[in-house]
Amino acid sequence: MGTIRKSIASGISLIVAGVVLVVPSAVAEEPPAACGGLVGQLSSTLKGVVDGVVAEPPEGKAVSEALGDSLGLLTAMQGAKCLPVPPVSAPAAGSPAAEPFLGPELCPSHAMASFAGVYSVLSKVVPGAVPPDLGKLKNEVTGVLKTVKDLLANCGLPEPEGGLPTVPAPGSPSPTSTTTPSPTTTSARPT
């Protein structure tokens, strides 16, 4: 009986030692230096989305172009290893297997949610799309901005200088609007 207990204890010790040896290699590393610049560019393109959505009238072409640029930057962030690439069952023929993403646990889901949110808004503003309800579109853009904010926090990426843009509340002046005096009508007065 004593030999069996020693064997089990030795086996458990080896398993625990193996886990301890494996865990440090799975610890997230600092994001590459390029990530800060890419985050800043993403923030700028998202500001373009907000500016286009709140303009009077909304600028669909500007919004769709800014959203396309946002998708390009999210993809560039994957290429720079700031964000994970989606999991695939097998690599393409002749290409090496993708390295597993060694980052925070919630990062992959937030990365995919950011792509999904941008694609969702883009599908509503591309040329040929049915004109969206402006209130719902603003709410959806607000949701995308929140998802990107969560992405930055959960992927260990730096927040851009000045933070991410926000969609102004209804009734507040838009960031791109300028106040112009309204035309006044003059009435003829007897002299």
What does the pLDDT look like over 4-17, one tens digit per residue? 545 444 444 444 44
pLDDT exceeds 70 at position 71:
yes
Q: What is residue 175's three-state secondary structure?
A: coil
Quote the pLDDT of residue 100: 52
Overall pTM surpassing 0.85 (yes/no): no
Comparing 112 with 131, which gets the higher pLDDT? 112
Average pLDDT over residues 81-87: 87
Q: Which amino acid is at 136?
A: K
Q: Using an 8 Å Cβ cutoff, are 71 and 115 in contact?
A: yes
Q: Say how far apart CA 15 and CA 41 lie, in whole Å.
A: 46
Quote the pLDDT of residue 106: 81
Residue with tokens 């290699």: 25
Q: Say how far apart CA 132 and CA 82 lie, in whole Å.
A: 33
pLDDT exceeds 70 at position 80:
yes
Q: Say how far apart CA 166 and CA 145 lie, in whole Å.
A: 7
Quote the pLDDT of residue 11: 47
Average pLDDT over residues 36-55: 95
Quote the pLDDT of residue 30: 64
pLDDT exceeds 60 at position 3:
no
Average pLDDT over residues 164-170: 89
pLDDT exceeds 70 at position 21:
no
